[in-house]
Structure 1
Amino acid sequence: MAKIVKFEELLFLPSFFYRSVGIDLWGTNGILLDIIFCFNVMNNIIVLISELTFVIMNFSDNFVEASMTLSYVGFVIVGSIKMYYMWKKKHELARFLTSMKAIFPNTKEQQQQMNLRQHQRKSTLIMGAFSLNFMILIWTYNLYPWMQRQIYDCWLHKRTIEVALPYKSYIPWKWQGNWSYYILYLSETLAGYHTASGQIASDLVITAMGTQIIMHYENVSKRIEEYKPKVSLLRRQRDKELPSHKLRNKLRKIYMEQERAYCEDMQFLGNIIAYHSKIFSLSEVMNNVFGVALLVNFMTSSFVICFVGFQMTMDTEMDYKIKLFLFLFSSLVQIYLISYYGQLLIDASVNVAQAVFCHDWPDAHIHYKRMLVLVMARAQKPAMLKATNFVLISRGTMTDIIQISYKFFALIRTMYSD
């Protein structure tokens, strides 16, 4: 017997990463979570300042290292801004999740009708792979200096590896061979992890809730397409069973049946319109909660991809190129994930109009037909993921980001060659 899926199961991974940066998904932060959040913010600011200082001091003398550190700076900025907006919008997010939970299918029959299991498996697989990809990325960067020294210097004794921190930054004292090295290493490691968690936490919520909104749109389309208007069925049955000269004897009965059928049809359509309107309004609320974070993400991603791509064209060691490839791949996956769900949301919302057109409406009541026209007109305006009003997210957004990144890459490469 299939177990009933609970709403909270869709939010297991997002909730884990939200709490790791000190924020509760439902807006019920305790003292411990507030302390964790404040520590994360302060630590990220300190690391960000030290990295920016390093970039300023080395930009003219060592542009290659400065450009790589700029990629880290962009990564930290996006993660920190997302963390800030997660904290600022936590009560709006809690209300949004409460509204989503209110329309969540809670019975076995409803979940089977809406193919909830299939949607859950798909979103869980995508969120798990996305989270694993980012965790591999950040822990590769966090542990790379230590592992490199352990393997080459301590175990293989092939070459001497200097003590290094995970990320290039300016430290105003001599930390090599000093106890402060361990504190600095821990600080940068935590900043890297919390930045990555801040990066993906909101993306995971968009994935989980986007999946549910898409599921509801598909349910609207399915219910409309499968519904047989009672007035249509009654008219066809009447024409088939009763010759015209017998209609006069059963006129009263036919009239009552038509009135009942008309009421059932209009009630169904009224419920569908309210359901459809609710789903559309929730997609707009999701944009209000995550719009600014998405805008910053897309704006910064172009520069990050550009600088990482520039680094990959340099003559560097293979293990360093692997790190760069992981960084580039993770950035592209992040953009594609949001673009992919933005396109799915557009397709699912527009398909409602197609379902209305394929609906068995020709013999329905004239009032029913007029209301169907309104539903179709409303569905032709698609629900969209929006990075505020500046970027409407679809699969084409991925292409736009890559084109912009390549233009910056070509410019920087030309300047460096000259």
Structure 2
Amino acid sequence: MENLEKFVRLANFFGNHIGMKPWGRLDGFQRRFLFYFSSINLLITFIAESSYIIVTITSDFILAVMTLSYVTFIVVAYAKWYYLYTYQTERTAFFQRLETLFPCTKSQQEAIKLSEYIRMNKLSTISYTISFLMCISTYTFYTIARQFIYTNLLHVPGTERNLPYQAVYPWDWRDNWTYYVCYVSQGFAGWHSTCAQMAFDLMLCTLSTHLIMHYDHISRSLEGYQTKFAEIHGKNGLTQQARAAMELKAVKDDIKFISSIVAYHTELLRFDWSHADIRFQKMTILVAERAQDPAALKATKLITISRDTMTVIMQMSYKFFTVLRTMYGD
């Protein structure tokens, strides 16, 4: 039997490393320690990198711009961190509502085609996770691997020690043991920034997949439904499909980032509702009118999230990464 935990397992994995589960509250000493350690260490790295930008902006503009990309990465991580920390109560209530809608029996899971959506969710989240981890691992280990090769394998004398990310610290760290402390600190900062962003992004992807699964199931149910005047008019209450439509409207009010029911206006036109009860007709008109607005997920109010935009973002990120790494290597 499948459960909702499988949908959010990967997001919870990254959230645990910064002391915040996307589904659940912060509790326990270990989780609180991770939360404060990661946030403070990330703040120290942010200050050190920002100081480097201020110091070198006039003498080496290109290197300062490269460091600005690292600082921006931390800022984005803090923004997603803030959301995960601030909206814990609302997020928990939302997950609890989704858990009540989750199919519990084997027959319900087969009817809703749960296995297909789990497979689709795994494919998208794991591929995104692998590409993200490869990028951050390259940034973190490239410098020390390069130094190891030049010093121990090629025996090049006078190899200068460098950190993964350019930063200014109030002491000389190059020729003593504090170099390794700074390196580990920046490595953890990069990892915690990645965890914050991955936990947030994977949570949104999981929630979207989960909601689409329910909406697709209801659309299929409406497509095969044939209304009869006697069937509807002869009952005191509404039919099961009518109640489902009302439930959809209630869910829509709770789910702010879903603008409308996916393709409902198309599905409503596939069955004859003109001879149904007057209450059902009014409700159908409201649902069809609301469904005229296309459903879309947006990053803030500027960018519509789709496969095309995600592909463009990943391509631009990789090109930007290769350019910076080439300049940094030179």
- TM-score, scaled relative to structure 1: 0.69
Alignment partner, residue 197 of structure 1: 195
Alignment partner, residue 323 of structure 2: none
Alignment partner, residue 83 of structure 2: 85
Alignment partner, residue 100 of structure 1: 98
State how 1:292-311 maps to structure 2 within 5 Å: none
Moved over 6 A (4+): none
Which residue of 270, 274, 283 maps to 1:371?
A: 283
Shift of 1:59: 0.6
Alignment partner, residue 20 of structure 1: 17
- Whole-Å separation in 1 of the counterparts to 2:6 and 2:287: 33
- Whole-Å separation in 2 of the counterparts to 1:161 and 1:271: 72
Which residue of 155, 160, 163 maps to 2:161?
A: 163
CA 1:194–1:224 in structure 2 vs 1: closer, same or farther (change >3 Å)? same
Structure 2: runs of 5+ lacking an equivalent: 321-330
- Whole-Å separation in 1 of the counterparts to 2:277 and 2:83: 50
Contact 1:265–1:368 under 8 Å retained in 2: no
Q: Higher Cα Rg: structure 1 or 2?
A: 1
- Whole-Å separation in 2 of the counterparts to 1:276 and 1:392: 26
Q: Decide which moves more: 167-176 or 201-210.
A: 167-176
Contact 1:221–1:352 under 8 Å retained in 2: yes
Which residue of 249, 262, 273 maps to 1:277?
A: 249
Q: Which amino acid aligns with 2:209?
A: T
Give CA deviations for 1:82-111 in whole Å, capped at 9, x if unaligned.
Answer: 112211222221111111111111122222
Q: Which amino acid aligns with 1:391?
A: L
Contact 2:48–2:169 under 8 Å retained in 1: yes
Shift of 1:362: 4.7
Shift of 1:283: 2.3
Give CA deviations for 1:4-56 in whole Å, capped at 9, x if unaligned.
Answer: 21110111100001111111321142222112111111111110011011001
Q: Decide which moves more: 130-139 or 267-276.
A: 267-276
- Whole-Å separation in 2 of the counterparts to 1:182 and 1:196: 21
Q: Which amino acid aligns with 1:393?
A: T
Alignment partner, residue 173 of structure 2: 175
State how 1:211-290 maps to structure 2 within 5 Å: 211-231=209-229, 258=230, 262-263=234-235, 266-284=238-256, 287=257
Alignment partner, residue 380 of structure 1: 292
Contact 1:283–1:383 under 8 Å retained in 2: no
CA 1:396–1:111 in structure 2 vs 1: closer, same or farther (change >3 Å)? closer
Contact 2:16–2:31 under 8 Å retained in 1: yes
Contact 1:138–1:192 under 8 Å retained in 2: yes
Give CA deviations for 1:233-263 in whole Å, capped at 9, x if unaligned.
Answer: xxxxxxxxxxxxxxxxxxxxxxxxx367642
- Whole-Å separation in 1 of the counterparts to 2:291 and 2:124: 28
CA 1:28–1:34 in structure 2 vs 1: closer, same or farther (change >3 Å)? closer
CA RMSD of the aligned region, Å?
A: 2.6
Are residues 1:138 and 2:117 paired? no
Which residue of 111, 115, 125 maps to 1:127?
A: 125
- TM-score, scaled relative to structure 2: 0.86
Which residue of 361, 378, 388 maps to 2:273?
A: 361
Contact 1:141–1:166 under 8 Å retained in 2: yes
Alignment partner, residue 209 of structure 1: 207
CA 1:196–1:260 in structure 2 vs 1: closer, same or farther (change >3 Å)? closer
What is the aligned residue count? 313
Q: Which amino acid aligns with 1:165?
A: L
